[in-house]
Structure 1
């Protein structure tokens, strides 16, 4: 038996203008949970795509169970026993769990062109049950939450007897209970001898789950070691090539006048009498469990979610916001939690995405001013440290952190006064997070108002001046940074329905 279930030796992958992987080596043992971490743009996604046959390496070798492999397509990788659960799940919500599990590998009745659904339903139920999910496999996937849909993706890997399952940011869209279930499933797969490559930006998950961890930087292997030999500081230094003395570089700014006031915002079955005030020169955090109504509140203020009643005041003026266009006119910016689906046009270049929220300032008569687009775009790239070969680079080719910086740049170019950041650091590394926090600091220092929705309590506590806590569409409480109530315990207590 080979020492490693999968081994990469000196793999290099080039794209026009960039070397994504440079002499990258990786060894994964049978039945181990192997963490993979690195800044956005470090080459993790390219490494995954080389391992799964989406990209072919320009140089280097891949071995599975000691045998050299050449993957010309994803099917070749699957045939060798490598499967991947991507961050963006490959689920067709209208189809049943069974259909999704057996898609492209349907079982037919013997000597017939008809599908053998009895067998497929039975196998689908058995594999989901083995993953701790007693669900009706005949129901559409869209009837279930993200946790179940992720288990369906894992079930696909189990059914092909995968030797290695790659999990790419698997907890990024899951609630607390779903994360616990996922971790239990990962441990169960390990006990069965399946190797897991666990890609995550959340350091606490790596320490909780992994046996070993590999750090990448700039497309290269930096270190592989037992997780017991690592700590936060060592991992961060290896990732970014420097220490991050303050992961939450909070600055104190004198609070200004009222910027935004919301009174009795209602939406049937979703929001109930939402009232709060946000000020110039502060970061107002919005905390709560998944499904608490945080995103819907932000979208309602931005005119992107229907409301039944309530009032919105900006700088003391009662305003009517019925659409995002109205919100932009009133100098409100919303960075959505779904940057790929709602924040960017992935098929267009960086330069085009950076101007989409405010085309009028880039016009010269009836035409777009190409010189101004280039000038401001170049400034955005420099200011926000966007790693890219050039302004024309298609945004879909950028890493998650760099995509997020493009979204921020797009809204900075509107000269908004109120910035709503919905999960601004989801799926980006600690180095990029600090850069996003510094952008927030710069905005409040300029007297802007920042509202930040986050599911990460350390982030809420680290960057907020005040925090409002939501549960089931209601505001349950508010805590101020300068009071003794400003604690993780109080925020969680309110999020679960208790009084603080």
Structure 2
């Protein structure tokens, strides 16, 4: 890709960007949210067609001008977006060949052939599922493999993956990276966009860093003694002395107490949260660590207005007083706020602007005689835009056009506007870059310095160790340990996270 420049109304997304990818390599593209990584790949894959940008693409020594996705796929260029493009009610085979149907006599779809070919491709990626299985029944990790099978069915030669492991657990991520290595050994070239720098270092042959829509550098990972630090320096334009900002810990009075909280599955006859008890004090960050399926999000959502499952027992206390949280409105009224792990589904209205999203949870604070004061609403949104460093042309910008890190800040602003005493953060830095993570951690530090109580759920143990005062471990819906961060290690926490005995531990 030579001198690619791509503009949107009022914004230059890419400015004279060049990228060279060698046959049979895994090439990583790194950069902060909004740096232009996904836009560059949309240019390469024909999502942004020829004529919609300046510069040129050369594929196998020949100019490539793609009018759309079909043109790029005909040349073996296939992109898998971060948001998976699967139809949940269709089978695996139907998804694999959607728009690329296998036809038999008289041009009719040959289902038997589609199932045979899909089964062979599924075996290649190690997915032990029937081609007739509806995709909606699969977990996210398996759905990601179905997307790769779709690409293989199109005779892929250049595979582009945008944040392929963002929503995967460690086991599924490791399997996917092994698959990319196998593809490379088989001659398939891959371009991977990821914020997980350890994965980039582990799998990439070369890395290109993009900052503010411009190419910073390209280097061979194996030739760099400290590739992670070099990537970060290129992304943010400076060295990060620490991944986690320093904070003086001074916990005060107990702010949140959850006692013997028990929740059953909404449709199945099983307990998902089993007698969980925890406390968080004012000016304290407390973490919850657990493997996928441990019940972390279910615990948080059920406490916050019983938004998940069937509550069968337990009490919630805020500031020493028992409160009712039977509805979201009651939870908010009691001083509890919950920042969801799924900002695009539960956290934001992507087709509305920053102003409306910021005010959504606290409209009553802006109402006069039942009418929302629009001028005050915009002033509030503008204040949070400045305070949280939300990078946008203005508060009238549609939230769906913002980068992941800035969308996360909008979700935070929405709940901070409710002035909560207790803030529950569920995977607060998932899918955002290292610079934006640091900014989120800084915001958390400001909140606890102001006396707020913060409960953080995270799949990244280094993150919990870096920002928390104490960490609870959860396994199979039960609290199995409570560890001061000064005594905690990743190995000790993992042991507690996999504990199956009924007797909880207290040290790691």
TM range (shorter): over 0.9
Separation in structure 1 between the aligned mates of residue 466 and residue 17 of structure 2, nearest angstrom? 35
Separation in structure 1 between the aligned mates of residue 274 and residue 202 of structure 2, nearest angstrom? 38
Structure 2 counterparts to residues 66-77 of structure 1, below 5 A: 66-77=61-72
Separation in structure 1 between the aligned mates of residue 61 and residue 482 of structure 2, nearest angstrom? 58
* DSSP 3-state at the match of 1:111: helix
Structure 2 counterparts to residues 236-275 of structure 1, below 5 A: 236-268=232-264, 269=270, 270-275=272-277
* Counterpart selection for 2:44 from 51, 70, 73: 51
Separation in structure 1 between the aligned mates of residue 251 and residue 424 of structure 2, nearest angstrom? 17
* Counterpart selection for 1:80 from 75, 79, 96: 75
Deviations 1:39-94 (A, max 9, x none): 01101121121122112342111121121111221112211211112111111222
* DSSP 3-state at the match of 1:311: strand
Whether 1:297 aligns to 2:322 is no
Whether 1:364 aligns to 2:372 is no
* DSSP 3-state at the match of 2:240: coil
Whether 1:209 aligns to 2:209 is no
Whether 1:180 aligns to 2:174 is yes
Match in the other structure for 2:377: 373
Shift of 1:160: 0.8
* DSSP 3-state at the match of 1:358: helix
* Counterpart selection for 2:465 from 433, 455, 461: 461
* Counterpart selection for 1:402 from 392, 402, 406: 406
Deviations 1:283-340 (A, max 9, x none): 0000011111000011011021131111111111111211211111111111100000
Shift of 1:362: 2.0
Match in the other structure for 2:490: 488
Match in the other structure for 2:280: 278
CA contact (8 A) 1:121 1:138 kept: yes
Separation in structure 2 between the aligned mates of residue 469 and residue 174 of structure 1, nearest angstrom? 20
Match in the other structure for 2:352: 348
CA contact (8 A) 2:474 2:480 kept: yes
CA contact (8 A) 1:425 1:436 kept: yes
RMSD between superposed Cα atoms in Å = 1.3
Separation in structure 2 between the aligned mates of residue 91 and residue 273 of structure 1, nearest angstrom? 37
Structure 2 counterparts to residues 57-136 of structure 1, below 5 A: 57-113=52-108, 115-136=109-130
Separation in structure 1 between the aligned mates of residue 46 and residue 357 of structure 2, nearest angstrom? 30
Separation in structure 1 between the aligned mates of residue 320 and residue 406 of structure 2, nearest angstrom? 36
Match in the other structure for 1:425: 429
CA contact (8 A) 1:247 1:434 kept: yes
Match in the other structure for 1:5: none
Of stretches 434-443 and 470-479 in structure 1, the one that deviates more from structure 2 is: 470-479
Of stretches 102-111 and 180-189 in structure 1, the one that deviates more from structure 2 is: 102-111
Match in the other structure for 1:235: 231
Separation in structure 1 between the aligned mates of residue 209 and residue 107 of structure 2, nearest angstrom? 51
CA contact (8 A) 1:274 1:475 kept: yes
CA contact (8 A) 2:318 2:335 kept: no
User: Between Structure 1 and Structure 2, how many residues are aligned?
Assistant: 490
Separation in structure 2 between the aligned mates of residue 39 and residue 410 of structure 1, nearest angstrom? 23
CA contact (8 A) 2:26 2:206 kept: yes
Shift of 1:112: 4.7
Separation in structure 1 between the aligned mates of residue 107 and residue 57 of structure 2, nearest angstrom? 39
CA contact (8 A) 1:167 1:197 kept: yes
CA contact (8 A) 1:250 1:462 kept: no
Of stretches 131-140 and 153-162 in structure 1, the one that deviates more from structure 2 is: 131-140
Shift of 1:195: 0.8
Whether 1:198 aligns to 2:201 is no
* DSSP 3-state at the match of 1:27: coil
Match in the other structure for 1:220: 214
Separation in structure 1 between the aligned mates of residue 368 and residue 330 of structure 2, nearest angstrom? 24
Separation in structure 1 between the aligned mates of residue 162 and residue 312 of structure 2, nearest angstrom? 39
* DSSP 3-state at the match of 1:461: helix
CA contact (8 A) 1:265 1:309 kept: yes
CA contact (8 A) 1:10 1:60 kept: yes
Of stretches 355-364 and 392-401 in structure 1, the one that deviates more from structure 2 is: 355-364
Deviations 1:380-433 (A, max 9, x none): 111111111111111111110111011111111111111000000000000000
Match in the other structure for 2:26: 33
Shift of 1:351: 1.2
CA contact (8 A) 2:249 2:469 kept: no
Match in the other structure for 1:22: 15
Gaps of 5+ in 2: 265-269
Gaps of 5+ in 1: 1-7
Separation in structure 1 between the aligned mates of residue 153 and residue 485 of structure 2, nearest angstrom? 50
Match in the other structure for 1:4: none
* DSSP 3-state at the match of 1:357: helix
CA contact (8 A) 1:41 1:387 kept: no
Match in the other structure for 2:267: none
